[in-house]
A and B are shown apart, each in its own frame.
Chain A
Amino acid sequence: MGAVRWLIVLVGVALAGLGAVAIFGQATSGTQPWDPELSDNFIFVKSIPFVLGLGVAVGLARGRGAGAQRRRADGRVERFRIGTVVGHWIMTIGFLLALPTGMWQYLGGILDVRAPIDLFLFYRVHYVGGAVVLFGVASFLAYWSINADRSLLPPRGQWRAHLAGATAELPPRLSGPIARLFRLDLAARRPTPDRFTYYETGFSFPVWTIALALITVTGLIKAMRYVYPIPGGILYWASTFHVASMVLIVLKVLDHLRYTLPRWPMMVAIAKGWVNEGSIRSLLAAEPTAAPAADADVARAPAMSGSDR
């Protein structure tokens, strides 16, 4: 199985390499009439199938992963597999490239100002960042398609309980009104999470999914506009929702940092994969309104016992 995985990756890398050579060969042939900005757009849009294909190959090569959670004698536990850690870094790099450049394009248009750097360079970096994010999304979707582990999502019928758990994490002056608005029962007894907190399952992962889906689809439509005739109305709404999803991601990154910075073991886990089991257990045990241990053993949610790694 290991050889097949590597074969898939090699084929993906080879195809992506051949595609890159062909695309850059065309762009640098000196026969293209486009200005730098349009030329970059064509390079980007022609690269997309290869980027997505490479992402799918890498995601499939990760295989079914997961399995039993590994532990070391020194008390550390593997919270995330190396593929997940690398995938998280890839998405981080993609956002670091795409978000500031996308924000500049948007605000530059609103403010009517020009930077001392040519605008096409902002677009170039934005396209690189977008390609990195597309690779990450394709890789993750391919990995999930062959992996039955859904521990980052609430199981069927438990969405409200997980949402309530996520809401209970907030300060009371916020959690109360939100609970009333969505009719969530914050006082209900919930089992102690086993792997991911209620914030992660009930709020964070679903919001990331929505934001990434929105920015990916709208970004693809925008990128295609010079090579395929997109109706004006669709392009308008794609641009509007692309900006909206960008703002949503800016907010989600801040929310992500707000939550994880004071929970240092989570930062260690996503950076290294391995973390001290006692530290991460104490974080999970600190979840608000968790049921006593005896109840938790009976009521432990299936979603909490999986292992998305």
Chain B
Amino acid sequence: MKRIVAVLAIVWAAANVVVAYLFVTNAFVAKTAAKEGLPAQAALLLGGLLIAVFAVIVAREGLALFRGTSRVS
């Protein structure tokens, strides 16, 4: 069961990395600036970076769970 949950967590993390990538890249697109404005660009950048950081952490925890090397238990 641990391995199934670990794989699902890694898949979820990977999907979030894609979302983070789209957030960050579109923060610098001229079309976004024209349509949404500077605050939306900043929000996309900050949100994308935060999602990326958390997704990487979840992927690492998922990998540790899969290998049976989790830190806490």
Residue ranges of A at the interface with B (Cβ–Cβ < 8 Å): 100, 103, 107, 110-112, 244, 247, 250-251, 253-255, 257-258, 261-265, 267, 279, 282-283, 286
Contacts and interface: CB of A to CB of B under 8 A. Distances in A.
B61 A257 contact: yes
Contact of B9 (A103, A251, A257): A257
Nearest to A257: B58
Given A261-B58, A262-B65, A107 B19 contact: yes
Contacts of B19: 103, 107, 250
Contacts, number: 73
Contacts of A258: 54, 57-58, 61
A265 B70 CA distance: 12
Contacts of B73: 262-265, 279, 282-283
B43 interface: yes
A2 to B, nearest CB: 34
Nearest to B63: A261
Contact of A110 (B16, B32, B72): B32
B22 A254 contact: no
Contacts of B61: 257-258, 261-262
Contacts of A103: 19
Contacts of B24: none
Interface string B9-47: 100110110010011001000011001100000011001
Contacts of A111: 22, 26
Contact of B12 (A247, A257, A264): A257
Interface residues of B, number: 33
Interface SS, B side: helix
A279 B5 CA distance: 19
Contacts of A247: 43, 47, 51
B40 to A, nearest CB: 8
A57 to B, nearest CB: 32
A139 B31 CA distance: 42
A91 B50 CA distance: 23
Contacts of B62: 257, 261
Contacts of A112: 31
B8 to A, nearest CB: 10
A255 B54 CA distance: 7
Residue among B5, B15, B32, B36 with max Cβ neighbours from chain A (10 Å): B5
Nearest to A266: B73
B70 A261 contact: yes
Contacts of A264: 2, 65, 70, 73
A110 B36 contact: yes
Given A111-B26, A261-B62, A267-B5, A254 B57 contact: yes
State the 5 A-B residue pairs at the shortest beta-carbon distance, nearest first. A254-B54, A262-B70, A261-B61, A262-B72, A247-B47
Contacts of A244: 43
